[in-house]
Structure 1
Amino acid sequence: MAVYVVGDFLRETRLRKGYTQEEVSYGICTTASLSRIENGMQKPGRIILEKLFERLGTENNLFDSFVSREEMELYTEIQTLIRNVTDGDLKKIEEQIDIVEKLTQNTSELERQSLFWAKGTLAAQKYGNKSDAMEWLLKAIHITLPDFNGKNPLRNKLLTFDEITIINSIAVRYAENEDLLTAIQLDMWLKEYMENKIIDGKMKTTKYPMVVYNLSCWFEDKECYKEELEMAEQGIKLCVKYGNLALFPKLVLNKGSALARLGDHENARKYLHQAVTIFEAMGRLEIVQQVTAWCKKNCEFEI
């Protein structure tokens, strides 16, 4: 499609949602650049275009904007890196980091945001270096949110999906350091943001269950079982509605655990049994053993 159509769509969506050019472009490009894009005077690169769409709470399903073969290659390799991090394959993450690092040597910092996030993940998961991990994550988020101090939500800012992912990773690091209050504060910010700012779509159905699953775990650690139950139920509802079942059994497990802690043993047994059945079907027998042992120790029933 013609470039001006992209600009029209961005402008009309922005105005419909009541956002200023400053809010949408913050940390991604200059306000002047967004104005030129909206007026059809500038062709945005793929990464910039996707981040602008995400700030508007939607996904770029209508337009492609590759300006060169090199940009297409970089975009493809960044997506591969993100998938490797999601899959947790540390060897592939390390290999892909080298590829993306070479391709971004002469690009802007914006193209390196996912690279820094991946380095933070690798530092934490492979080397157990929490300090380096947090440093990389903060470096990644400061590319587009330079005034984020790593702890306090910026509720007046619009977020891209990458920013949501990075902030969630920062929250996970706080939880690992037993700063559960900060972790909960950050992920509650993300949860509320996705509920209020992002329309339903593939990225939301991936990230929302991840955030509420984390919250349910952290509320359990804080012995806030009603809140744990609420988070688990919200995650289950979205997983079922959109058929995204990656975290479904873990959310069911957390729901059963919360019910048990709250003394509702009849329903707790039902949901814990459902979770165990799913994990058995998945071949995750180590989890089945853990749940069985937990029930034997903490409940008035066995699975």
Structure 2
Amino acid sequence: MDFSLIGHKIREVRTHLGLSQKEVCEGICSQAQISKIEKGEVYPSAPTLYQITKRLGLDLNYFFESGLSQRQDYAEEVKKQLAAARRNKNYEDVKEIVKSEMNNPIFTSSKENQQLLLWNKGVYEYSLDRNPELALETLQKALSLSHSNDNVWTEDELAIIMSIGVIYMDEKCIPEAIETFKRAKRYMNNRLNLKDWTLIPRLHFNLSKALTKAELYEKSIACCEEAIEWLIKRDYMYLLGELSYNMGYNYELMKLFEKAIYYYERSLFIFEVQKYLHHIDYIKNRIDALKEN
């Protein structure tokens, strides 16, 4: 998307209305930020763009009248912002983005885009509002928007199923969580290719945690090993440290302390390479405690 064009249009309308940057951005963003947006130097977040358009008395369609591709680019940008917010556990941001886009024609006119918003709505209803029943209802509604064939599942549908499994796991409904993750794994195995390859290690990691909670330690370890082998073959490090740590945790619960220390130390090395500093002290303390036994 050409964000310099959006910035140019914001400046054009603002000056036409005789408004200063300060008047437009008040309560929305800093004056420095709107200056950068108008110059095309930064991407406006979805909520920021939505609020600016309302302040200027515009409809979001004004920025996308040049064609379908820009609408698709805008939806993709919102999707990226939601993914980043979920990854960083900024569920307030998720909620703000979803609410700002609910009445946006770019989203209301597309089932795929509606599903994206409903999925993220379910995420914040659980993670922020702590309402598991409503979150599960919303996620099931998101699935029903697009799904019609049990042999074919989109990547977004698989991600939604995984979100359902995480809620079951966190709510201590472990058999339901395991079955949900296994279901997603069966569907994933039927796909010839995946655009979002992170789905595979994410699914294995969550399934392994659910198996650990069910005290199925050897199955959890096997699940981690399968994911690690898949990652190593492709030279990927995503979740490699977390999977190694979970193997160590399973071995610790099985009282196989030497193996637990080995996998904890492997996870520690990976986290140090990745500079995931918030994990390091915790794992070092766990290793020291085991060595004292």
Name the residue aligned to 2:184. 190
- Residue 230 of structure 1 is matched in structure 2 by 222
Counterpart Cα distance in 1 of 2:91 and 2:134 = 16
Q: Which residue of 2 aligns with 1:118?
A: 120
Q: Structure 1 residues 100 and 284, CA, compared in 2 at 3 Å: closer, same or farther?
A: same
Deviations 1:230-255 (A, max 9, x none): 01111111222223323110001111
CA distance in 1, matches of 2:171, 2:268: 29
Aligned to 1:95: 96
Report deviation, 1:137.
1.0
Q: Residue by residue, what CA displacement relative to the aligned partner does 1:160-199 show, whole Å, maximum 9, x if unpaired?
A: 000000000001111111111011011112123223x223
Q: Which amino acid aligns with 2:188?
A: M
Q: Specify the structure having the higher radius of gyration (Cα).
A: 2
Contact 1:188/1:215 (<8 A) preserved? yes
Residues 114 and 106 of structure 1: CA distance in aligned 2, closer, same or farther (over 3 Å): closer
TM-score with structure 2 setting the length: 0.68
> Where does residue 174 of structure 2 map in the other structure?
180
Structure 1 runs, 4 residues or longer, greater than 6 Å off: none
Bigger relative contact order (CA 8 A; separation at least 6): 1
Is 1:247 matched up with 2:248? no
The alpha carbon displacement at 1:118 in A equals 0.7
| Partner residue in 2 for 1:80 | 81
CA distance in structure 2 between the partners assigned to 1:122 and 1:188 by the alignment: 24
What count of residue pairs does the alignment treat as equivalent?
A: 226
Instruction: Give the alignment partner of residue 168 of structure 1, picking from 162, 166, 171.
Output: 162
Corresponding position of 1:14: none
Normalising by structure 1, report the TM-score: 0.66
Counterpart AA for 1:123: E
Contact 2:265–2:287 (8 Å) recurs in 1: no
Matched AA of 1:81:
L
Q: Name the CA distance, whole Å, in 2 between partners of 1:90 and 1:164.
A: 21
Contact 2:143/2:160 (<8 A) preserved = yes
What's 2:21 paired with?
A: none
RMSD: 2.7
AA of the residue aligned to 2:218? K
Structure 2 alignment gaps of length 5 or more: 1-66
Question: Does structure 2 conserve the Cα–Cα contact (< 8 Å) formed by 1:174 and 1:180?
Answer: yes
1 CA distance for matches of 2:214 and 2:81? 36
